[in-house]
């Protein structure tokens, strides 16, 4: 008997989705002995079904269903108590929902419904209550036995409602997105065209697609251009004539040796800035020479720059397109950057949002396609921008300098800071320092003066150096009355009553308040001190051989006051060392050496006797979990919120707070109880 | 059994003794039987059932959706398996159907040609069974919780209709007399004489007038909660009441005295009338009380619980005892009417254990006879 209940408990607390077949076999074997055994198993299964843990219930249900198909006696027992059985497994009573964990509960319910269905088909006619239970589930609880998820009608309806609500929300969102799209579509397109034209300005032949089309057209069939897709060499001429020739930095690793003749033609644009004149000359020469040399293939030469068809031209066009910013193209680059920012921060996220909404809502194909097109073109524009490798650095630095000098107005500064688009300027160290002092000096400046002393303004005017150090303080009353002697300051004038016959007690009409007088010529500036980050570590030796890496200012919560330690974590000072040794001794005494769990385990392993090593070392760390295989229900509750709740709502703290509040109340009451307004509250 | 038969044959025993003994045995062996089914017609909870007194053949049931069904209980097929067929139905499609839940149905005591139903649609209807049309409709200002036809009234056919406001739950006619007892929601039970309208005869008091035990409010109350069930015993000598304080009490119907029988906790969550019944012709008599999702069986005078009949999957609202066959019919919120049928004695047992059984039953019947 004991063995049976043990087996059942082991099976149910395994936490597995499947039963252990061997144990199950053993149970069946034991059950064959007599009906009493079956009774016993039945009762232990029912008691396990009553546990508030779905995993236990799930396993217990599996045992029950195994035995149900084997034993008539078990069937009669179970069917006699079928109401409770259904309550515990199918959740027929809404006041007793299935216990957590949720997923297992769901699994249990669907399995139970399936099983009841199969039982009904095989045993329904013989066991009346089984049939009744089945009909109850079917007709009253409206369980659909075909439904895979085994939901009741209410659940299904709820699900449907939820879906329709979601749909409605999506539809609204989609409508809003459509409207939004229509509104800003033009804007986006305008942005795109602007970007396009800016890029064209920066790099006229950057339009790769056009070039690709051009080249094959111009080339005759026997032309052996090894690298047709590289249009760069053809551009050189245009580049020279182009408006922004200087900013084009082309890295052309060109040329095999044999086209050295063409060397003058394929300019390395790095030089272009220096010898513009030369270029022009060469251009002229080129044209002349080409006209002279190859009259029949004029077109070819003009477009390709090759003199002979037999040349094979190998061009390794690296990714290194570079556009450098300078005075000439500053405006264009600025525009490009603005546009880039506009696209990345506004348009692209918006378009992505639309696409998300539209796909979720299952909106019209047309709209979706439009959104996708927009996204594609935006991304293409960004890609192009990327390829240009525009060098913003000079400009950015200029902006930084300007702001640090204080020339630039705040707006620009404000624009600069929140952007984090990858090319956010790196603030150099010295500038950063400058920034820091700038703000700090503004905030934490202590400043006081006495009216008798000479006004500091005169001092500051006397020397420029001092003026630099002079602090900036916000305008206040003290400055307003700077150096003036105010006769009325700090005087409270009480007007005499104007009443006809109601005359107050005689009193001074003028009261002088020293504090107020002082207030008008002094200023309180709080100086909380400067935050200095902690640079030292606790460095107490840890159990794993490392040193404690906590950086507390004064005291480590684990190792106490932070003291200077050497490399091994030993205290440098003798007294500290002594203290620590004493503590260690005390700890040893509390738990004798031989109780060391590891040592004990070793001894146990050697001798095979239980010395109780499991119990040692677990002290204070809570009880050992009874069934380690089951998922822990309490663990879910261990959230920051619950921990806080434990702290905040525990009795002693509540009492403490209540006491303080009562005290505060009482104080108020003592003070104001004679005034009805306060007395009431 | 055999001993009873032989002594009956020899004329040693009163014929009643055999009958009592056998019917008691049958009541004690009531069980949910796969051989007996009742057609599932109701799509909603069943509030009330009634078996006709004349033939004991037809059963009325009233559902929470206003539907009334008449079943044939008699098994003429010759097989043990029998499903009680619904002969006719006052369904939702019927023009005269009750709009709301039917609270009570009752056959006319002398004929199955007529029955009376009362409902939450503020009407009480008297139906012609043949045509299923109401012969008379009484309309009231408030919900009708219950009504009862006088079982002996040949001449006047008075109906104790509970034209009740919310407070009155249940009324029953006494078997031989002209008394009615009325339950009210404020936990009082009063006994009236129909011939005197000026005031009630007496009010049942759970403490029998012992003032020391009762708090001031509890004086003259039958229950501490609301009283919602009322039933006379078959001989009319006793009156049973149930209340929401989970108690059942047995009163002497002549004096109104609490007999102080302790039935223990009789679970009672119903907010409406609870229809329960007392067996007839057994010794001792048994009470069948719906109790949650099962029907509890108590002995009437000792208050001992005999068994719990578990079979419903939801609350049981009503039960009715068939006096001729010792069968019990119960209806509940799970739309089922269940028939509890005595188990036949298994044939193989008789030869082996006949002697011991006989002795046992002999001794028990002797006691019973002494009681009777």
Task: Give all domains of chain B, ordered by start, each with its CATH number.
Answer: 14-344 (2.130.10.10)
> What's the rounded Cα separation, in Å, for the pair B305 and B132?
41
Choosing among A88, A132, A137, which should be mutated to test the B contact, i.e. which has the most B CBs within 10 A?
Answer: A132
The reply to whether residue A129 touches residue B311, judged by beta carbons under 8 angstroms, is yes
Residue B171: what pLDDT? 61
Assigned domain for A531 exists? no
Assigned domain for A253 exists? no
Lowest mean pLDDT among A178-182, A282-286, A602-606, B167-171: A282-286
Q: Which residue has the higher pLDDT, A497 or A24?
A: A24
Residues A35 and A67 reside in one and the same domain: yes
Residue B69: what pLDDT? 92
The reply to whether residue B336 touches residue A129, judged by beta carbons under 8 angstroms, is no
Lowest mean pLDDT among A63-77, A90-104, A219-233, B276-290: A219-233
Assigned domain for A615 exists? no
Residues of A in contact with B312 (CB under 8 A): 83, 132
Residue A268: what pLDDT? 46
Residues of B in contact with A128 (CB under 8 A): 32-34, 311
Residue-wise pLDDT for A432-489, tens only, equals 444 444 443 333 343 444 444 444 444 444 555 566 667 777 787 777 777 777 666 6
Residue-wise pLDDT for A27-66, tens only, equals 888 888 888 888 888 888 888 888 888 888 888 888 888 8
pLDDT digit of tens for each residue in chain B (372 aa)?
778 888 888 888 888 888 888 888 888 888 887 788 888 888 888 999 999 888 888 999 999 988 999 999 888 888 888 888 888 898 888 888 998 999 889 898 888 888 989 888 888 899 999 988 999 898 888 788 888 877 665 555 555 555 444 445 556 666 555 566 666 556 778 777 777 767 777 788 887 776 666 555 566 778 887 788 888 888 878 888 888 888 888 988 888 888 888 888 888 887 788 888 998 888 888 999 998 888 999 998 898 899 888 888 888 989 999 988 888 999 988 888 888 988 877 665 545 554 554 544 544 444 444 443
The reply to whether residue B313 touches residue A83, judged by beta carbons under 8 angstroms, is yes
- For range A257-263, the mean pLDDT: 44
Residue A594: what pLDDT? 60
Candidates A348, A331, A20, A34; CA nearest to A197 is: A331
Cα dihedral value B200, B205, B211, B214, nearest 10: -130
List for chain A the helix, strand, coil content (%; round to 5). Answer: 60, 5, 35
Residues of A in contact with B338 (CB under 8 A): 132
Assigned domain for A371 exists? yes
* Facing residue for B336 by CB, picked from A92, A127, A132: A132
Residues A119 and A2 reside in one and the same domain: yes
Residues of B in contact with A139 (CB under 8 A): 40, 43, 335
Residue B239: what pLDDT? 86
- Which long-range contacts (C-beta less than 8 Å, at least 24 apart) are formed by A249-255? A249/A320, A249/A321, A249/A322, A249/A323, A249/A324, A250/A321, A250/A322, A251/A318, A251/A320, A251/A322, A252/A315, A252/A316, A252/A317, A253/A315, A253/A316, A253/A318, A254/A315, A254/A316, A255/A313, A255/A314, A255/A315
Alpha-carbon gap: B69 to the closest alpha carbon of chain A (Å): 19
Question: How far does CA A185 lie from the centroid of its chain?
Answer: 31
Q: Which residue has the higher pLDDT, B92 or A219?
A: B92
Residues of A in contact with B314 (CB under 8 A): 136, 140
Residues A138 and A177 reside in one and the same domain: no
Assigned domain for A193 exists? yes
Residues of B in contact with A133 (CB under 8 A): 313
Residues A49 and A137 reside in one and the same domain: yes
Residues A191 and A333 reside in one and the same domain: yes
Report the b/e string of B274-288 with b at 16+ CB within 10 A: bbbbbbbbbbbbbbb
The reply to whether residue A140 touches residue B334, judged by beta carbons under 8 angstroms, is yes
Instruction: Note whether A510 and A492 are within 8 A (CB).
Output: yes
Alpha-carbon gap: A159 to the closest alpha carbon of chain B (Å): 25
Residues A118 and A193 reside in one and the same domain: no
| Chain B positions touching chain A (beta carbons under 8 Å) | 32-34, 40, 43, 293, 310-314, 333-336, 338
Residues A193 and A110 reside in one and the same domain: no
Hey, is A463 helix, strand or coil? coil
The reply to whether residue A86 touches residue B313, judged by beta carbons under 8 angstroms, is yes
The reply to whether residue A140 touches residue B335, judged by beta carbons under 8 angstroms, is yes
Residues A176 and A43 reside in one and the same domain: no
Residues of A in contact with B313 (CB under 8 A): 83, 86, 92, 132-133, 136, 140
pTM score = 0.53
Identify the band that residue A508 occupies on the pLDDT scale cut at 50, 70 and 90: low
Last residue of one domain, picked from the residues A122, A146, A170: A146
> What's the rounded Cα separation, in Å, for the pair B290 and B272?
13
Residue A106: domain span: 1-146
Helix axes A393-405, A429-443, angle to 10 degrees: 30
Residues A40 and A188 reside in one and the same domain: no
Chain A: residue nearest B292 by CA?
A83
Residue A289: what pLDDT? 45
The reply to whether residue B310 touches residue A92, judged by beta carbons under 8 angstroms, is no
Alpha-carbon gap: A77 to the closest alpha carbon of chain B (Å): 13
> What's the rounded Cα separation, in Å, for the pair B309 and A129?
12
Residue with tokens 């699994």: A107
Q: Which residue has the higher pLDDT, B221 or A379?
A: A379
The backbone torsions φ and ψ at residue A334, rounded to the nearest 5 degrees and listed phi first, read -60, -45
- For range A597-620, the mean pLDDT: 61
Statement: residue A293 has pLDDT above 70: no
- For range A96-106, the mean pLDDT: 82
Last residue of one domain, picked from the residues A351, A378, A393: A393
Last residue of one domain, picked from the residues A146, A172, A188: A146
Lowest mean pLDDT among A87-101, A396-410, A630-644: A396-410
Residue B70: what pLDDT? 92
- For range A4-10, the mean pLDDT: 82
Identify the band that residue A299 occupies on the pLDDT scale cut at 50, 70 and 90: low
- Report the domain count for chain A: 2
| Chain A positions touching chain B (beta carbons under 8 Å) | 80-81, 83, 86, 92, 125-129, 132-133, 135-136, 139-140
Residues of A in contact with B310 (CB under 8 A): 80-81, 83
Instruction: Note whether A30 and A3 are within 8 A (CB).
Output: yes
> What's the rounded Cα separation, in Å, for the pair A228 and A207?
15
Residue A457: what pLDDT? 44
Residue A445: what pLDDT? 40
The CATH number covering residue A71 comes to: 1.25.40.90
> What's the rounded Cα separation, in Å, for the pair B177 and B183?
18
Residues A7 and A103 reside in one and the same domain: yes
Q: Which residue has the higher pLDDT, A243 or A673?
A: A673
Residues A191 and A125 reside in one and the same domain: no
Assigned domain for A610 exists? no
Choosing among A126, A128, A133, A143, which should be mutated to test the B contact, i.e. which has the most B CBs within 10 A?
Answer: A128
The reply to whether residue B313 touches residue A92, judged by beta carbons under 8 angstroms, is yes
Instruction: Note whether B265 and B309 are within 8 A (CB).
Output: no
Choosing among A77, A79, A80, A83, which should be mutated to test the B contact, i.e. which has the most B CBs within 10 A?
Answer: A83
Residue A316: what pLDDT? 56
Q: Which residue has the higher pLDDT, A265 or A157?
A: A157
The reply to whether residue B313 touches residue A127, judged by beta carbons under 8 angstroms, is no
Residue A440: what pLDDT? 39
Burial degree of A294 (CB within 10 A; 0-12, 13-18, 19+)? middle
Residue A381: what pLDDT? 84
Residues of B in contact with A136 (CB under 8 A): 313-314, 334, 336
Assigned domain for A21 exists? yes
Candidates B82, B80, B102; CA nearest to B90 is: B102
Mean pLDDT of chain A: 70
């Amino acid at each position: 008997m004991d063995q049976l209940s043990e087996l059942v408990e082991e099976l149910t607390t395994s936490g597995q989705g499947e039963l252990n077949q061997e144990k199950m076999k053993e149970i069946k074997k034991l059950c064959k002995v007599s009906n009493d055994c079956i009774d016993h198993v039945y009762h232990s299964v029912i008691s396990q079904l009553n546990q508030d843990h779905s995993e236990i219930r799930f396993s217990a249900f599996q045992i029950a269903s195994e035995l149900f198909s084997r034993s008539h006696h078990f069937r009669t027992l179970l069917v006699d108590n079928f109401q409770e059985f259904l309550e515990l497994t199918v959740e027929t009573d809404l006041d007793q929902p299935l216990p957590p964990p949720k997923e297992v509960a769901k699994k249990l319910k669907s399995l139970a419904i399936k099983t009841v269905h199969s039982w009904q088909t095989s045993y329904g006619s013989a066991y009346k209550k089984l049939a009744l239970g089945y009909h109850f589930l079917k007709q009253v609880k409206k369980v659909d036995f075909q439904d895979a998820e085994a939901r009741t009608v209410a659940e299904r309806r709820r699900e449907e409602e939820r879906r329709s609500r979601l749909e409605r929300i999506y539809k609204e969102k989609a409508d809003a997105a459509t409207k939004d799209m229509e509104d800003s579509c033009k804007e986006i397109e305008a942005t795109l065209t602007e970007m396009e034209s800016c890029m064209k300005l920066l790099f006229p032949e950057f339009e790769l697609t056009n070039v690709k089309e051009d080249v094959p057209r111009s080339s005759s069939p026997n032309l052996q251009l090894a690298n047709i897709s590289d249009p760069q060499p053809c551009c050189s001429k245009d580049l020279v004539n182009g408006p922004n020739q200087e900013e084009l930095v082309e890295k052309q690793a060109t040329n095999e040796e044999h086209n050295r003749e063409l060397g003058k033609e394929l300019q390395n644009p790095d030089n272009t800035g220096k010898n513009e004149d030369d270029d022009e000359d060469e251009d002229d020469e080129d044209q002349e020479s080409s006209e002279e040399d190859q009259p029949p293939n004029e077109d070819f030469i003009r477009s390709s720059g090759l003199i002979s068809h037999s040349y094979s031209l190998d061009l390794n066009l690296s990714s290194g397109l570079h556009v450098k910013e300078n005075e000439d193209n500053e405006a264009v680059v600025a525009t490009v950057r603005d546009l880039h920012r506009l696209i990345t921060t506004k348009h692209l996220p918006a378009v992505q949002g639309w696409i998300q909404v539209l796909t979720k809502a299952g909106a019209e194909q047309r709209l979706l396609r439009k959104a996708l097109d927009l996204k594609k073109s935006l991304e293409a524009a960004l890609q192009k921008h990327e390829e240009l490798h525009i060098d913003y650095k000079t400009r950015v630095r200029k902006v930084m300098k300007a702001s640090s000098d204080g020339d630039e107005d705040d707006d620009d500064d404000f624009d600069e800071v929140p952007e984090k688009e990858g090319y956010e300027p790196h603030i150099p160290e010295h500038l950063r320092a400058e920034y820091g002092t700038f703000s700090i000096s503004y905030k934490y400046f202590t400043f006081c003066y006495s009216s008798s002393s000479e006004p500091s303004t005169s001092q500051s005017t006397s020397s420029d150096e001092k003026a630099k150090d002079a602090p900036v303080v916000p305008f206040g009353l003290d400055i307003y009355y700077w150096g003036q002697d105010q006769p009325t300051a700090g005087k409270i004038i009480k007007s005499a009553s104007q009443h006809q016959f109601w005359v107050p007690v005689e009193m001074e009409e003028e009261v002088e308040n020293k504090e107020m007088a002082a207030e008008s010529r002094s200023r309180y500036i709080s100086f909380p001190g400067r935050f200095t980050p902690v640079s030292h570590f606790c460095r107490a030796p840890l159990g794993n051989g490392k040193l404690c890496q906590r950086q507390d200012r004064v005291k480590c919560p684990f190792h106490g006051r932070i003291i200077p330690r050497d490399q091994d974590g030993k205290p440098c000072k003798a007294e500290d060392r002594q203290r620590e040794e004493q503590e260690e001794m005390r700890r040893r005494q509390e738990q004798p050496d031989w109780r060391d769990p590891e040592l004990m385990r070793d001894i146990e392993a050697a001798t095979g006797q239980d010395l109780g090593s499991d119990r040692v070392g677990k002290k204070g760390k809570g009880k050992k979990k009874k069934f380690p295989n089951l998922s822990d229900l309490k663990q879910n509750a261990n959230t920051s919120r619950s921990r806080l709740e434990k702290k905040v709502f525990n009795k002693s703290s509540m009492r403490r707070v209540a006491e303080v509040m009562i005290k505060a109340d009482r104080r108020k009451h003592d003070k104001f109880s004679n005034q009805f307004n306060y007395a009431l509250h | 059994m055999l001993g009873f038969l032989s002594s009956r044959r020899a004329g040693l025993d009163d014929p009643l003794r055999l009958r009592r003994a056998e019917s008691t045995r049958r009541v004690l062996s009531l069980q949910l039987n796969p051989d007996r089914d009742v057609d599932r017609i109701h799509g909603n909870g069943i509030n009330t059932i009634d078996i006709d007194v004349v033939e004991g053949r037809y059963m009325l049931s009233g559902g929470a959706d206003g539907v009334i069904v008449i079943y044939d209980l008699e098994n003429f097929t010759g097989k043990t398996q029998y499903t009680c067929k619904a002969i006719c139905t006052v369904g939702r499609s019927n023009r005269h159907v009750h709009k709301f839940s039917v609270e009570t149905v009752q056959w006319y005591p002398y004929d199955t040609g007529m029955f009376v139903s009362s409902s939450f649609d503020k009407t009480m209807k008297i139906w012609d069974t043949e045509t299923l049309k109401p012969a008379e409709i009484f309309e009231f200002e408030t919900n009708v919780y219950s009504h009862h036809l006088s079982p002996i009234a040949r001449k006047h056919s008075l109906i104790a209709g509970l034209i009740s406001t919310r407070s009155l739950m249940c009324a029953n006619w006494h078997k031989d007399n002209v008394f009615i007892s009325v339950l009210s929601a404020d936990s009082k039970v009063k006994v009236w004489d129909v011939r005197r309208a000026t005031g009630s005869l007496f009010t049942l008091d759970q403490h029998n007038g012992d003032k020391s035990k009762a708090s001031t409010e509890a004086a003259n109350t039958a229950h501490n909660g609301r009283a919602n069930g009322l039933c006379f015993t078959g001989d009319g000598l006793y009156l049973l009441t149930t209340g929401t304080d989970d108690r059942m009490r047995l009163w002497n119907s002549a004096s109104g005295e609490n007999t102080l029988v302790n039935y223990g906790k009789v679970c009672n969550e119903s907010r409406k009338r609870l229809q329960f019944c007392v067996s007839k012709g057994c010794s001792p008599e048994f009470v069948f009380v719906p109790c949650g999702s099962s029907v509890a069986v108590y002995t009437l005078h000792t208050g001992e619980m005999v068994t719990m009949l578990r079979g419903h999957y939801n609350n049981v609202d009503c039960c009715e005892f068939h006096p001729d066959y010792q069968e019990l019919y119960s209806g509940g919120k799970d739309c089922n009417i269940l028939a509890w049928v005595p188990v036949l004695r298994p044939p193989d047992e008789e030869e082996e254990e006949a002697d011991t059984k006989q002795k046992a039953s002999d001794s028990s019947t002797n006691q019973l006879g002494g009681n009777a």
